[in-house]
């Protein structure tokens, strides 16, 4: 763990993050004659603060001790020749690339702010996809059509839906709740499931198993209500993330299209 954290930290320093040379010249400690730059400690402090910790003497001392321990272990790893290991060198290169990708993405987000007009259009598009109804459903998910038909036969004989879901469903997210999925628009589900749900009457169960990429479902519609979209201000950040992710993916695709790949 120490070695991995140390290597990642060193990679941050060599990927071009701008830190003044004077900070590199300053050291917070020396380990066997090797200096630990002040810039490295400052970077760790900044990261800790970003995670909610308070800047303090205690925090800085603790991080300094971590850096010293990591430097000691890293030096031992180098003595053992681990820095020449092909696996380690591959991990270093992968980590370097990952850091560069994150830095590029952060720079893209900073330089490509999304205006409220675009966000409101996104909001209206999402609202239109929601439809005008919300559905409260239960389901039992199994691996095969035969298992699903067995569940339906058990229900016709008076079996309790929630009990069968708890016992037989492979959907770990809902089985403990008796297969209950809560309230959601039909658009939140994969199409075969959504179609089945919309064709059911309140209180009814599908008369045929529903196949999706997840397996085979027995679906019951518990209730229906009018859909009410959350106010724009409540979901503005979500809309921003959707737009930025889509735009960034498009940018990456354009880069891929223009890259010379042999």
Residues 103-129 pLDDT 10s = 999 999 999 999 999 999 999 998 888
Is 156 found in the same domain as 62?
no
* Gap between the Cα atoms of 221 and 133, Å rounded: 13
Is residue 150, in this structure, part of any structural domain at all? yes
What CATH code is carried by the domain that includes residue 202?
A: 3.10.50.40
Is residue 190, in this structure, part of any structural domain at all? yes
pLDDT band at 24 (very low <50, low <70, confident <90, very high): low
Q: Give the residue-averaged pLDDT of 6-21.
A: 47
In the chain, % of residues over pLDDT 70:
90
Total count of domains within the chain: 2
Is residue 11, in this structure, part of any structural domain at all? yes
Residues 167-204 pLDDT 10s = 999 999 999 999 999 999 998 899 999 999 999 999 99
Is residue 238, in this structure, part of any structural domain at all? no
Is 91 found in the same domain as 12?
yes
Q: Give the residue-averaged pLDDT of 132-143.
A: 96
Contact between 214 and 175 under an 8 Å Cβ cutoff? The reply is no
Is 135 found in the same domain as 62?
no
Residues 34-91 pLDDT 10s = 999 999 999 999 999 999 999 999 999 999 999 999 999 999 999 999 999 999 999 9
Is 88 found in the same domain as 17?
yes
Is residue 245, in this structure, part of any structural domain at all? no
Contact between 216 and 208 under an 8 Å Cβ cutoff? The reply is no
99: CB partners within 8 A, 6+ apart: 8, 11, 12, 15
Is residue 195, in this structure, part of any structural domain at all? yes
Residues 199-221 pLDDT 10s = 999 999 999 999 999 999 999 99
Q: Give the residue-averaged pLDDT of 235-262.
A: 95
Tell me, letter by letter, the H, E, C secondary structure of the chain. CHHHHHHHHHHHHHCCCCCCHHHHHCEEEEECCEEEEHHHHHHHHHHHHHCCCCCCHHHHHHHHHHHHHHHHHHHHHHHCCHHHCHHHHHHHHHHHHHHHHHHHHHHHHHHCCCCHHHHHHHHHHHHHHHCCEEEEEEEEEECCHHHHHHHHHHHHCCCCHHHHHHHHCCCCCCHHHCCEEEEECHHHCCHHHHHHHHCCCCCCECCCCEEECCEEEEEEEEEEEECCCCCHHHHHHHHHHHHHHHHHHHHHHHHHHHCCCC
**Which contacts of 116-125 are long-range, i.e. CB under 8 A and separated by 24 or more positions?**
118/243, 119/232, 119/236, 119/239, 119/240, 119/243, 120/232, 122/239, 122/242, 122/243, 123/232, 123/235, 123/236, 123/239
| pLDDT(3) > 60 | no
- For residue 22, the model assigns a pLDDT of 52
- For residue 18, the model assigns a pLDDT of 45
Domain that holds residue 187: 130-226
Is residue 240, in this structure, part of any structural domain at all? no
| pLDDT(27) > 80 | yes
Is residue 197, in this structure, part of any structural domain at all? yes
Is 6 found in the same domain as 58?
yes
Is 149 found in the same domain as 99?
no
Is 135 found in the same domain as 77?
no
């Amino acid at each position: 763990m120490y070695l991995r954290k140390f290597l990642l930290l060193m990679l941050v320093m060599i990927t071009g993050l701008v830190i003044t040379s004077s900070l590199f010249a300053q050291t917070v400690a020396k380990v066997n004659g090797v200096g630990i730059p002040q810039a490295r400690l400052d970077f760790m402090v900044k990261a800790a603060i970003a995670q909610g910790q308070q800047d303090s003497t205690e925090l800085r001392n603790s991080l300094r001790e971590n850096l010293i321990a990591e430097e000691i272990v890293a030096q031992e790893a180098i003595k053992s020749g681990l820095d020449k290991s092909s696996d380690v060198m591959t991990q270093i290169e992968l980590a370097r690339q990952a850091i560069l990708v994150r830095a590029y993405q952060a720079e893209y987000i900073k330089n490509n702010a999304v205006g409220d007009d675009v966000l409101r259009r996104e909001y209206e598009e999402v609202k239109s996809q929601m439809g005008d109804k919300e559905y409260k459903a239960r389901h039992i998910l199994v691996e095969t059509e035969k298992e699903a038909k067995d569940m339906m036969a058990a229900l016709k004989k008076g079996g309790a839906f929630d009990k069968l879901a708890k016992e037989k469903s492979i959907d770990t997210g809902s089985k403990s709740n008796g297969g209950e999925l809560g309230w959601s628009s039909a658009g939140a589900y994969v199409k075969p499931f959504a179609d089945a749900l919309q064709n059911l009457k309140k209180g009814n169960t599908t008369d045929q198993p529903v196949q999706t990429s997840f397996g085979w479902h027995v679906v019951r519609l518990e209730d229906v209500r009018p859909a009410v979209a959350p106010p724009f201000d409540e979901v503005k950040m979500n809309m921003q993330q959707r737009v930025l992710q889509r735009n960034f993916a498009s940018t990456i695709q354009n880069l891929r299209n223009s890259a010379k790949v042999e």
